[in-house]
Copies of this chain bind each other. A is one copy, B any other.
């Protein structure tokens, strides 16, 4: 059996090969699709193997057409695509079918796939989620997933072990970028430190020991709206890849992220969704061209920080 390369090494190699740390988020709003939703509907329908005119699939077909075009536009400036499950699940089973083809298309475009599902459940259920997300077909075979650590280590173990067995990774929520993250993640523990620091310690521990300079296969979702935390996070998680949302539509500032990249460029992935997909709304012109330009702008900014 061929040795499976660990996610940390795969990620570092992908960032180097593509000269990019940018992750394009795929969270399509059915009311704001590109014209490609129409022009690529035939292709989407063929991929999904559904007959024209079956009303159960029409919105999902349009969403897939849009997503194919978005991936094609952004991919040259990106290292990964991050489909957000909720935006597909809201379309029912047809949306999940579209999601499967979004993952396949991103992979074919040379991108890693990060399934942004933020799952977390008791061990037997977590094992089923692991099969759904990082398992082979009918699983999504994602290269990485996001997960919620609230239920503790035994709930995370099947996700981490299942991913690891396939060279995939798990990004745990440590400090998210939404204002309400204050309510729980910033609660101060008896040791005088915020809860998120404990989650950071658990994340580092689950990632295990890594060779000097190597990245772990358990990452952290670290909200970029609080850049003052990044140095402390890096201290607690020296070899952990950070997934940094909050750029663009959520108000983050990419220049504040430099501390995340201390162990190397692949240690800080910069996520952007609406700022890429909706770039044409501000910049005008063709959505694909505007998306590509915005992804490239982000790529260059991030690359020059490290």
Beta-carbon contact of A90 and B131 below 8 Å: yes
Specify how many copies of this chain sit in the oligomer.
2
Flag the segment in A7-15, A32-40, A72-80, A119-127 that touches B.
A119-127
The answer to whether A176 and B96 touch across the interface, beta carbons within 8 angstroms, is: no
Which residue of chain B is the closest to A127 with respect to CB atoms? B86
The distance from the CB of A270 to the nearest CB of chain B, in whole angstroms, is 17
A187 at the interface (CB under 8 A from B): yes
Whether B119 lies near A86 (C-beta < 8 A) is: yes
State whether B89 touches A100 (Cβ < 8 A).
no
Interface hits, A79-136 → B, CB 8 Å: 84, 86-87, 89-97, 99-100, 118-126, 128-129, 131-133, 135
0/1 string, A134-152, CB within 8 A of B gives 1: 0101111000000011111
**Could you list 26 A-B pairs, sorted by A, with CB under 8 Å?**
A27-B124, A84-B121, A84-B128, A86-B128, A89-B129, A89-B133, A90-B128, A92-B97, A92-B137, A92-B139, A93-B99, A96-B96, A120-B148, A151-B173, A151-B176, A152-B179, A152-B180, A152-B182, A153-B180, A154-B178, A155-B176, A157-B180, A184-B202, A187-B190, A187-B198, A189-B189
A residues neighboring B (CB under 8 Å): 27, 49, 56, 59, 84, 86-87, 89-97, 99-100, 118-126, 128-129, 131-133, 135, 137-140, 148-157, 173, 176-185, 187-190, 192, 195, 198-199, 202, 245, 250
